[in-house]
């Protein structure tokens, strides 16, 4: 058993694509539209985020008490943090910091609709 994907509703598919694909650097793997709902899968080798867009659905404000963040692996947290902030002008939730207990360097950025993305560099 393994995790395949997590699905999130977005209010603007093009804005979400620009952030997750052009900004963060995830690959757009595949997509389909079913019953008027556009579904775009972005990710890497180990899992995907399903971006869901329905023009007739109002996307509620993101609540971090329910979905805190989505983590993506990076080779260099500091460099990726700077690149993504420069490319997207996204909100910085927490700048790069080292978490000794996790042997990782992390940073947190907020993208469209307030979803938080954690950049994780394995230092081990």
Q: What is the pLDDT along the chain (124 residues), one digit of tens a residue?
A: 888 999 999 999 999 999 999 999 999 999 999 999 999 999 998 899 999 999 998 877 787 878 899 999 999 999 999 999 999 999 999 999 999 999 999 999 999 899 999 999 999 9
By the 10 Å C-beta count (0-12 exposed, 13-18 middle, 19+ buried), 45 is classed as exposed
* pLDDT at residue 94, rounded to an integer: 98
Give the pairing of strands 116-122 and 104-110. Answer: antiparallel
pTM of the model: 0.92
Give the domains, in start order, of the chain with CATH numbers. 5-54+67-122 (3.10.180.10)
């Amino acid at each position: 058993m393994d995790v395949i994907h997590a699905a999130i509703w977005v209010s603007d598919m093009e804005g979400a694509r620009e952030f997750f694909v052009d900004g963060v650097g995830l690959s757009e793997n595949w997509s389909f539209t079913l019953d008027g709902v556009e579904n775009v899968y972005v990710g890497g080798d180990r899992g995907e985020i399903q971006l869901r867009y329905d023009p007739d659905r109002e996307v509620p404000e993101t609540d971090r008490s329910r979905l805190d963040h989505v983590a993506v692996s990076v080779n260099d947290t500091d460099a990726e943090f700077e690149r993504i902030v420069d490319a997207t002008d996204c909100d910085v939730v927490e700048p790069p910091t080292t978490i000794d207990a996790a042997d990782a360097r992390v940073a947190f950025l907020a993208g469209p609709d307030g979803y938080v993305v954690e950049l994780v560099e394995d230092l081990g």
